[in-house]
Each structure stands twice: as structure tokens, then as C-alpha cells.
Chains A and B, each alone.
Chain A
Amino acid sequence: MAVCVRQSRNNIINLVKSKMGLLGLTNLSSSVSSLNNDHITLATASLAKDLRNESSVFENKPTLYRTRRFESTKPHQRSGVHSNGASSQFLDFPGGQVAFTPEMRFISESRKERIPCYRVLDDDGQLIQGSIDVGKEIAVKMYSDMATLQTMDTIFYEAQRQGRISFYLTTIGEEAINIASAAALTIDDFVVPQYREPGVLLWRGFTLQQFANQCFSNKGDDCRGRQMPIHYGSKKLNYFTVASTIASQLPHAVGLAYSLKMDGKDACAVTYFGDGGSSEGDFHAALNFAAVTEAPVLFICRNNGWAISTPTSDQFRSDGIVVRGEAYGVRSIRVDGNDTLALYSTVRAAREMAIREQRPILVEALTYRVGHHSTSDDSTKYRPVDEIELWRSARDPITRFRKWIESNGWWSGESESELRSNVRKQLLDAIQVAERTEKPPLVDIFTDVYDVPPSNLSEQEKGLRETIKIHPQDYPSDFPL
């Protein structure tokens, strides 16, 4: 029965199935109350336990619900015990047959071996086996953008240290995740970032001047000085404005993917988060909803070992993030986050599956946060300097990828110094321009709170202007009124 209903009303059945979790072995005579109990379990969790046997609870349930449920499911048929051969028996249960076993066996809290990590390039930047389908043009652009990102981080970080901007946060050590994942996507894919993925914007064409304008919150900032530095966003580039709240972007990406699904778009949503973010409730909600709604979304976890000062050993006891996917019914992979080619091919394949099969994919990239968490942090206080140095030098993803493109004859010391000095000059210019550009005008305090400003905001603006006119000495004069 369940099968034939599934054929005709696949979607509804999927929704119903998801609610049937607690329906176990029930007999025919109790099926009415068990159905009701099932519903109450969903709607009223713990209350239902106390009320399970009180038929009065259900007095107000309209008959509509009952008939609908009976049409769409036949619990007594779904919950029977079936023999399958002489020795083994199965429980027919929502989600498929479950084998019985006479052995009391707990599932281990960990596997014998950790999930392996997919890589293409060895530590020396050489292919581990075979060949890879990545052309010169894209390889060189990936390298250039990684080097640009690294240079931008270095210079903006210094600008913050000089007191020219209030805050900064680098991506150093995680350039490959930024750029290679961006390269594997198309511009039609929507990115819902955390805050350590400015490389995706860079890849999509956000200019160094735009980065500088945002960090200096001048009137050239696409977000009108509304957010602290590094909270970039660009609707034009399908990159959502960075949220400071950890992991709230994950359910948003699922919702976005759902809307892409409804529109039948040939695109997916892509969201990034860290090892620390995987502890937020939103992470679990997002994975579960993505699986249930079959949303085309890529979850890319940058497992960089540290959530500010919290090491992963204090963050979780699972084998990282990748193993969580299976529990939610989400296909998952672990990849070397410092291997540009491995990331590129993984994300490209993941994107393809997500869109073609309309399903979420979880990618855990193993990497290291070489920089401090942000300019508000000194990570040498809580982690060994030689650990940082190992990842900064021997495991640097940029150096490793450079060796590969150099061995292909696509890059040289000359191109390297030309690129670095160009980018450096562009950045210094961008900072100077950003510093000289006027700050956002007064009106930008009040716009965009609502689509159309309500009267109380117009009154506040009028009042502020009048006050400034009367007491100009009490207000800064370096921005347009």
C-alpha cells in the first residue's frame, strides 16, 4: 500500500513519512488512537506522553484529518512483522525494512578509521595519480586570485593595525577553499557566506576598490556604511550580505535553494561555515530541512581547527563534520582544504549532483586558520606558534598550487613578482581613494529600514536636520548632510 500511494502522491507521502517516526508496532484495533497519538507527538511532544490514553484530548479533532490520514497511509500494513527466509526477520518500518537481530549491539561512537580526505596534489604540488581536467586559463586565474586575496589580507590587516579601519579578519591559510570553490560554481549559484569567504566575491568580480570602500565604510560602499568591515555583500554578484550571527546563513541557504527548486532553476545555493558553526542549532536544522525538502544546496565547511580559541577537541567528539551528513541523509565528502585541485573538482561534482539530483551535499574541507581569528584576537595566547608556522609555510595552499602550475609551464617567477607588485599597488591606491572618499550622507541612517520610510522615520530625520542646523558645533562636519 505504501508503495502504491508513493507512486501517485510522492510528495505528500514524503511529508507524511517524515512524521511517522514514532509509529512502531501497532495492531489493527489500536490504529485510530495510534494515529492520533502520532500527530500529537509531533504537535505537542511531551504533553502527548501524558495524554496518550485520554481519548478526550481528541474530541475537537475534526474528522477531516482522520479521513485524510487513512487515505494516505495504512499503518497496520506498514507495521507488520515479515519473515524473509528461515532465519532472518524484518520490521517493516517507515523508511524501509529494518532487520531484527538477537544480538544486543550498540553502534560505536566512532569508526575504526577516520573518514579519509580526498586530495589530488601531494605536499609538493604534484598530481598523486593520473591527470586532471583543469585548463591553463582557469588554473592561472585561480592562482592569481588566491595570491591577490593573500595580498589584500596582508595590506588590510596592516591598515587595521595602523588604526585606519576598526576591524579586519583574514582568510590566510584558507585561500584555496575560497577561490577553488568559487571557480567550481557559476555566477547563477547563490552564495550565502559566513565571513571568511571574501575570495568568492573576488572571483566573481568584486573590485579591490569595492572591498576597500566597504572596510572604510565610505559612500562608495555597496551597503552604505551599514555594517562593520568585512561584511561584504553584492546582489549583482549573487553574494548575500555577511551576517555576524554564526550559522544563521545555513537555513537561509536552504530556503534559497528551495526557492531555486520551485523556480526550476539550473542553479544551487552554496553556503559556508566553520567547525565552530557546526555546533549551532541552525546547522542541524539546516541539514535536516535540506534533506527533507530535497533542496539543491552545498554546505561547505571550513574545518580550520579553531573557533576563535576553541579547538575542535572541545567543539565536538565526532570525526569532524563529514560524518554528520549521513545521520541527516545528506551525501557528504571530506576533502583536503589546502588542495586547490581537489576542492575544485569536489565542488564541481557536488554542484552537479545537487542540481541534477535535487539534493543537498555536505563538503568538509580540512584546513587551518593561519591568521588570528580577527584583529580582536591574538591566537599565540592559546595555540603553539610552531603549529601556526607549519601551516603557514609547509602547508600553504598557494605555494602548493603554484608548484603545480609552474610544473605545467603556466607560471614563472617573473609573472609572480609582476602580479604581487601590481596587486600591492592597486590595493594601496584603493585604500587611499577609500580614505579620501566622503562618508555616507545623513539620509543613509534612515533609508532601507523599510521599503518605504514610515512617517516616524521622516520626522526623526527632519528633527535631526533641524538640530544640526541649530547646533552645528555639536556634530561632525566631515560628511554630507
Chain B
Amino acid sequence: MLGIIRQKAFGQRIRPAVSAWRGYSSAAKEMTVRDALNSALDEEMSADPKVFLMGEEVGEYQGAYKISKGLLDKYGPERVLDTPITEAGFTGIGVGAAYHGLKPVIEFMTFNFSMQAIDHIINSAAKSNYMSAGQISVPIVFRGPNGAAAGVGAQHSHCYAAWYASCPGLKVLAPYSSEDARGLLKAAIRDPDPVVFLENELLYGEAFPVSAEVLDSSFCLPIGKAKIEKEGKDVTITAFSKMVGYALKAAEILAKEGISAEVINLRSIRPLDRNTINASVRKTNRLVTVEEGFPQHGVGAEICASVVEESFGYLDAPVERIAGADVPMPYAANLERLAVPQVEDIVRAAKRACYRSV
């Protein structure tokens, strides 16, 4: 099983650029997404003895990305399980444990590797409650980094948001900030249904301001609700995970050119908050969707369909989808940069939607 060598992902060419895009003041208390996920896991494990963490390297090694740091010492090897390298094995075992009422949190080293366990996620976890007429619920969380990192090639860079979001029975969450990470992971663990929790490797080290409310152990976000990260009146930009940061950066640039963009952080890919999206489009009359995944049958395609069905008469311009190139991710840095959405792509699409010259 190919894991990700951390060298490039933690390398210097990515992080400073990402952190520069944050539009928050530095006055509030800050927390990294990694610490947000770690503290959420810690608090939920502490609150509910049925919660346990399982995956490759989650214990002794503290997680391939250190998300489970300290948890083995605190909760012991029965609740922080290092497993043999068999995704189909530990995913199936997690599903079986959930059948009997435990609340497993299954860590994939990357969601690319979840493909080796897809049968258990789709055929077992997602369908068992339905097939058993509610007799077998599957309170399980599948989590790990999803989508493009940096310099790790096709088999480490795939975004699976649209895949999992196309399957009834699953809930699919994609946090952006530390607030999202804490609130959504806690919601996922407490939820009685199977939840696919799509993190982003490049956001782990990102620090975001967090309020006292977010730091409270009772903090939890509702599943199925998007967050309007920035209000605006001229164009709606939807995004999730790392692309929310890009969209906010694009909104800053657009503001300088007199375009007021509204940025929606989807947070939940399934259920999708169609109401928030459509209400925003009815206000701005324009829509740009952003995602790192592939365009065909993507999250943007679904949002576009929803807006065409529900708010067609409000649209003043064609909807534009910004997505990853329709190719497996190339490794070479120059090609990779061309294959994933950039801030400029979003800026130009928004300007086209507003009939500005680009």
C-alpha cells in the first residue's frame, strides 16, 4: 500500500502561499486544522466509550498526519488500533463493530486507498440500515485526507467527494477551517448514520481563528448546512475544503475590481444545502462553482442542476464550473499546477459571469 511521503506535502513551496490567503485577523485565538481534528476526536472518545479509532499507523506512529497524536497514550491500544495493511479488512471490521453498536472512526491514509474498501463503504455501511429496515444502523465515520495534496501523483490526489455524495445512505462532509473540522467531525461521530469525512492534507497545518464557542467541548455543527463565509451581491461562488480558501482569495481580488462575491462554504456535500445555494443565486443572479475534483458528474454539476431546476429564471449569466482537469493527476509540478483550479481561474470565471472583460 502506497502511503504518502510527507516530504513534499509539508514542503515549503505550498504552505506559505496557502496561509497568505486567509482573510482573518490575527487577534483571535488560532488553532490548526490538525489540532481541531485531534481535539474533536479526543473529546468524542472521552465523552463516549463506544468511540474508537482504527487504521494504519494511527497508534504508535500517532497517525500518518499526526491527527491521532496522544490518543494511544490516553485511550490505550484497544481504542486506538493499529491494523494490518488491508483497507478492506479494517473497513469491514469497522462496519461489523458498528453493526453491534460501537462507533468506529476509520482512518484512511488517503481516500484514494478507500477504493480498496469501497464494497464495505457502499454495499455494507451505506445500505444496511435500509436493507434491514432500520434494524442495523451503522454509526461509523470514514475519515482521512482527500483530493490533491502536492506532488504525490494520480493515486494520492483524487477527490472522492462526488463519488461518495452520489450514494444514498452516506453523509459526506468536507471541512475547510478549524471551526469546520471540529464542529463537523464531532457531528459525524455523534451521527447515527455512516459519514464520509473528507479532509485536506494541505489544510492540516493551516491555523484559523477560533472562538470560545468553537473550543467548547459541546460545540457541534449541523450536517447539511452550508456556511456563507463572505456575503456579497454580484456573484455566488460555491466551494468546499481547500477551495473555500481559494474562493475567499478570489473574492478579495474581485472586490478590488468592484465585484462583490458571495462565498459559500458547502461543508456538507450530502445532504447538499440546496436552499442556501439557491437563495444566494436568487440574490446575486450569477453562479461559479469551484472544486478540485473532475468536472463530469461532479459536485459543481449537481449544484448547477439544482440551480437550473429551482432558480432558472433568476440566472443572468451562464453558470460556470471551475474543476480539476479531466485527467488523472500528473506528478510533475508544472503539470500539476495546470491540473488543479487556481485563484485566477475563479477570478476570471466570476468576471465572465458579471460580463467583465478578462
Contacts and interface: CB of A to CB of B under 8 A. Distances in A.
Interface in B1-19: 1-7, 10
A91 B234 CA distance: 73
Contacts of B57: 39, 42-43
Contacts of B134: 447-448
B144 interface: no
B2 A256 contact: no
Given A12-B60, A65-B62, A448-B133, A258 B3 contact: no
Contacts of B86: 281, 284-285, 288-289
Given A224-B133, A252-B99, A60 B6 contact: yes
Interface string A85-101: 00000000000000000
Nearest to A257: B96
B84 A451 contact: no
Interface in B43-102: 52, 56-57, 59-62, 64, 66, 69, 72, 76-78, 81-86, 88-102
B99 A256 contact: yes
Interface string A411-445: 00000000000000000000000000000000010
Interface string A246-262: 00101111111111101
Contact of A285 (B89, B191, B271): B89
Contact of A251 (B60, B72, B96, B274): B96
10 contacts: A12-B77, A14-B77, A15-B81, A39-B61, A65-B60, A255-B95, A255-B102, A259-B97, A262-B52, A289-B84
**Among the interface residues A39, A254, A285, which one has the most CB atoms of the partner chain B within 10 A?**
A285
Contacts of B4: 44
A449 B130 contact: yes
A194 interface: no
Contacts of A11: 76-78
Given A233-B132, A248-B92, A259-B97, A45 B85 contact: yes
A46 B2 contact: yes
A45 B4 CA distance: 10
Nearest to A287: B89
A65 B104 CA distance: 24
Given A450-B171, A454-B271, A245 B123 contact: yes
Contact of A289 (B3, B93, B102, B137): B93
B171 A43 contact: no
A60 B7 contact: yes
A450 B96 contact: no
Contacts of A245: 119, 123-124
B56 A42 contact: yes
Nearest to A250: B92
B267 interface: no
A240 interface: yes
B5 A258 contact: no
A231 B93 contact: no
Interface residues of B, number: 69
A291 to B, nearest CB: 9
Interface in B109-124: 109, 119-120, 123-124
A245 B124 CA distance: 9
Nearest to B168: A449
Interface in A440-481: 444, 447-451, 454-456
B245 interface: no
A161 interface: no
Interface string A199-231: 000000000000000000000011110110001
Interface string A276-304: 00000110111011001100000000000
A16 B7 contact: no
Contact of B137 (A243, A286, A451): A451
A15 B81 CA distance: 8
Interface of A: 11-12, 14-16, 18-19, 39-40, 42-47, 51, 56-57, 59-62, 64-65, 68-69, 72, 190, 192, 221-224, 226-227, 231, 233-235, 240-241, 243, 245, 248, 250-260, 262, 269, 281-282, 284-286, 288-289, 292-293, 444, 447-451, 454-456
A462 to B, nearest CB: 15
B267 to A, nearest CB: 15
Given A255-B104, A448-B130, 19 more contacts: A40-B5, A45-B1, A45-B2, A51-B5, A72-B60, A222-B133, A226-B132, A250-B92, A252-B96, A254-B92, A255-B100, A259-B97, A262-B102, A285-B89, A448-B132, A449-B129, A450-B129, A454-B224, A454-B271
Contacts of B96: 192, 251-259, 269
A254 B93 contact: yes
B30 to A, nearest CB: 20
Nearest to B274: A456
A251 B5 contact: no
Contacts of A15: 59-60, 77, 81-82
B284 to A, nearest CB: 23
**Among the interface residues B10, B84, B89, B119, which one has the most CB atoms of the partner chain A within 10 A?**
B89
Contacts of A46: 2
A451 B169 contact: no
B82 A19 contact: yes
Nearest to B11: A60
Contacts of B271: 454-456
A251 B91 CA distance: 8
A452 to B, nearest CB: 8
A42 B136 contact: no
Contacts of A269: 96
B135 A235 contact: yes
Interface in B308-358: none
